Amino acid sequence: MARAGLTADRVVEAAADLADEVGFENVTLSALARRFGVKDASLYSHVKNLQDLRTRVALLAAGEMIDGIATAVAGRAGKDALVAFAGAYRTYALAHPGRYAATHTPVDPAVGAASDAFRRTAEITYGMLHAYGLSEPDLTDAVRLLRSTFHGFCALEAIGGFHAARDVQTSWERALDGLHTALEQWPRSERKEEDHA
């Protein structure tokens, strides 16, 4: 009989698509096998187990996301860069809810550290904040604030957490305004460079 032509990459890609359709926590090896017209046991040649599949999807998504952010931010600085970064971030999260959810699954710190996507994400984020004249440890504090707000907003929006009549896009822009003024007036501390991530 004809084979489905599976490979680890194709399986992970299909899992990511499935996640976007039914939610990351609802992607199942059985459903994935069904989609390929294959028995679920067959997938174990390409993927160690469900946990392995999940981290692979997370790494795929993290890479795609930072790609989009990087091109959006390229050549910009200051508030321009902030708005471009945030826009690309939220656009990806809304367009690919399952993939986005994958990126916020508890991940083994070892694989995270080894991931190129995570390294590039840290690089670009810290780079963007240099325009505000921040240095460690303020830099890390500011990065944590941005990550928190971006993630929190997209997570809440994804689960339908904003009920008010107010337009969500406008609230997003106002939040960015607020973050921008917070960054501009960030109280500088005395300390020197530290590790970042």
Partner DNA sequence: GGCCCCAACCTAGGACCCCTAGGTAATCGC
Partner DNA sequence: GCGATTACCTAGGGGTCCTAGGTTGGGGCC
| Contact set with its own copies (CB under 8 A) | 25, 104-107, 109, 112-113, 137-138, 140-142, 144-145, 147-153, 155-156, 159-166, 170-171, 174-175, 177-179, 181-183, 185-187, 194-197
Q: Which does 185 bind (CB under 5 to 8 A by kind): its own copies, DNA, none?
A: its own copies
Nearest to 189 by CA among 128, 131, 134, 126: 134
Please identify, using beta-carbon distances, which residue of 42 and 105 lies nearer to its own copies.
105
> x/- contact string, 140-159, with DNA (CB under 7 A)?
--------------------
With CB under 7 A, what is the number of residues at the site for DNA?
23
CA distances to 42, 96, 102, 179 from 189, in Å = 56, 38, 35, 19
Please identify, using beta-carbon distances, which residue of 42 and 140 lies nearer to DNA.
42
Interface segment toward DNA; rule CB under 7 A; list 35-43, 119-127, 130-138, 158-166: 35-43
For DNA, the binding residue among 49, 71, 181, 189 (CB under 7 A) is: 49
77: which 2 tokens?
């600085």
Do 93 and 154 touch, CB atoms closer than 8 A? yes
160 exposed, middle or buried (CB, 10 Å; 0-12, 13-18, 19+)? exposed
Angle at 155 between CA 33 and CA 98, to 5 degrees: 15
Separation between Cα atoms, residue 94 and residue 86, nearest integer Å: 12
Dihedral angle computed from the Cα positions of residues 110, 114, 118 and 119, in that order, rounded to the nearest 10 degrees:
130
Report, in Å, the least distance between residue 73 CB and its own copies: 20
Is 42 among the residues that bind DNA (CB under 7 A)?
yes
Output DSSP code: residue 115: -
For DNA, the binding residue among 13, 31, 105, 126 (CB under 7 A) is: 31
Please identify, using beta-carbon distances, which residue of 4 and 122 lies nearer to DNA.
4
Please identify, using beta-carbon distances, which residue of 6 and 122 lies nearer to its own copies.
122
Report, in Å, the least distance between residue 34 CB and DNA: 7
Do 136 and 126 touch, CB atoms closer than 8 A? no
Binding site for DNA (CB under 7 A): 1-7, 28-31, 37-42, 44-46, 49-51
